[in-house]
Amino acid sequence: MKKVIVVEANEVEVKPFCLEAFIEPKVKRCNMKSVTKKELRALAESLQLPYTKHEIAFAKKLITQLCK
């Protein structure tokens, strides 16, 4: 059996309902142009990273989906 505590109206704290507290923040959309494979290859070469054409294609698809 649960205990019940009786309080007076002046003992209760009233706050406005804030809907934003229950909603996850929205991710801001990217406002960048589409990335090309050529740009990704140039970036990988400038960072001296080894890559294959499959990795470049996957990176392009991933970046494109993240920015949608």
Q: Per-residue pLDDT tens for 14-38?
A: 888 888 778 777 666 656 678 899 9
Q: In the predicted model, what is the mean pLDDT of the chain?
A: 86
The model carries a pTM of 0.52
Strands (E) in 3-54, as ranges, are none
Report the helix count and the strand count for the chain, using DSSP H and E.
2, 0
> Looking up tokens 């080894």, which residue turns up?
50
Q: How many domains does the chain have?
A: 1
Task: Judge whether 42 lies within some domain.
Answer: yes
Instruction: Spell out the residues 6+ positions from residue 41 whose beta carbon is closer than 8 angstroms to its own.
Output: 51, 56
Range of the domain at 62: 31-68
Separation of CA 68 from chain center: 12
Task: Judge whether 11 lies within some domain.
Answer: no
Task: Judge whether 46 lies within some domain.
Answer: yes
